[in-house]
């Protein structure tokens, strides 16, 4: 392995070349660990089509799930940023579809979260509120809230998150996200703190940010349950 700037390093694993943080504690909360590959001796046949492996039909492991397939059932190479691979990697049909859907988050919604939105923020059960800009940190590990004051919420310490809506949108369409209610444990405390955010002036930008945060929450919980 070789060190590179910005606290990251290149690591070569059996699955491919990965760019990971120097300190594993600084991994993105959306990241997934590499799976354990099913041992070759335990998969004499493709785990999808049941084709028997031989000298002509070679076995291949999906880099996302670790299962064993023939070339036909595991031929696609798809980008997999959640495992920090530098290049697209071989994935089975099922996993490649999941990875392709996740790319919308990395290509579009992640940029929205990094850009931020304006919200009226209420901390705890007090009636005091403040208009603040909320954005995701560049390393994806914190929500930064900036106004007259500044504080941070570490994503890994969020215990629950609820997206609030403003009812039915004009024209009878689906409801639009208007705010967020989350509970988290501040650093050094085991007691949960409540944070309520409601869209400020630019409600369209805030709604897009909240929709992106909803998708981020799904990835966050999936990574925790791995």
* SS3 readout for the chain: CEEECCCEEEEEECCEEEEEECCHHHCCCCCCCCCCCCCHHHCCECCCCCCECCCCCCCEECCCCCCEECCCCCCEEECCHHHCECCCEEECHHHHHHHHHHHHHHHHHHHHHHHCEEEEEEECCCCCEEEEEEEECCCCCEEEEECCCEEEEEHHHEEEEEEEECCCCCCCCCCCEEEEEEEECCCCCCCCEEEEEEECCCHHHHHHHHHHHHHHHHHHHHHHCC
Domain end, chosen from 53, 75, 105, is at 105
Per-residue pLDDT reduced to its tens digit, 22-67: 776 578 888 898 999 999 999 999 999 999 999 889 999 999 999 9
Alpha helices in 59-176 (DSSP H): 93-104, 110-115
10 Å Cβ neighbour count for 87? 10
Banded pLDDT at 176 (limits 50, 70, 90): confident
Q: Give me the pLDDT at residue 8, please.
A: 83
Per-residue pLDDT reduced to its tens digit, 71-89: 999 999 999 999 999 999 9
Domain residue limits at 203:
116-167+177-225
**Residue 7, pLDDT above cutoff 90:** no
Q: Are 12 and 84 in contact (CB under 8 A)?
A: no
At 12, which CATH number? Answer: 3.30.40.10
Average pLDDT over residues 192-212: 92
**Residue 154, pLDDT above cutoff 80:** yes
Of the chain, the percentage scoring pLDDT greater than 90 comes to 65
The model carries a pTM of 0.80
Q: Give me the pLDDT at residue 5, please.
A: 43
| Domain identity same for 89 and 133 | no
Q: Please give the Cα distance from 212 to 108 (Å, whole number).
A: 9
| Domain identity same for 77 and 123 | no
| Domain identity same for 124 and 83 | no
Whether 39 is covered by a domain: the verdict is yes
At 126, which CATH number? Answer: 2.30.29.160
**Residue 209, pLDDT above cutoff 90:** yes
Domains: count for the chain:
2
Whether 3 is covered by a domain: the verdict is no
């Amino acid at each position: 392995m070789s060190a590179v700037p910005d606290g990251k390093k290149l690591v070569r694993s059996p699955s491919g070349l990965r760019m990971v943080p120097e300190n594993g504690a600084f991994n993105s909360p959306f990241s997934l660990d590499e799976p354990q590959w099913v041992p070759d001796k335990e998969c004499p046949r493709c785990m999808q089509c049941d084709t028997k492996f031989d000298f002509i039909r070679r076995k291949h492991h999906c880099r996302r799930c670790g299962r064993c397939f023939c070339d036909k059932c595991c031929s696609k190479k798809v980008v997999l940023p959640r495992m920090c691979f530098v290049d697209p990697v071989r994935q089975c049909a099922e996993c490649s579809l999941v990875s392709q859907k996740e790319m919308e988050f990395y290509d579009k919604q992640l940029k929205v979260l990094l850009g931020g939105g304006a919200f009226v923020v209420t901390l705890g059960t007090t009636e005091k509120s403040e208009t603040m800009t909320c954005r995701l940190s560049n390393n994806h590990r914190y929500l930064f809230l900036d106004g007259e004051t500044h504080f941070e919420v570490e994503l890994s310490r969020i215990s629950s998150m609820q997206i609030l809506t403003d009812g039915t949108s004009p024209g009878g369409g689906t409801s639009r996200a208007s705010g967020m209610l989350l509970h988290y444990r501040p650093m050094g405390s085991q007691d949960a703190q409540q944070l309520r955010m409601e869209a400020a002036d630019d409600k369209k930008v805030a709604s897009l940010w909240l929709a992106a945060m909803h998708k981020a929450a799904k990835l966050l919980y999936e990574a925790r349950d791995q």
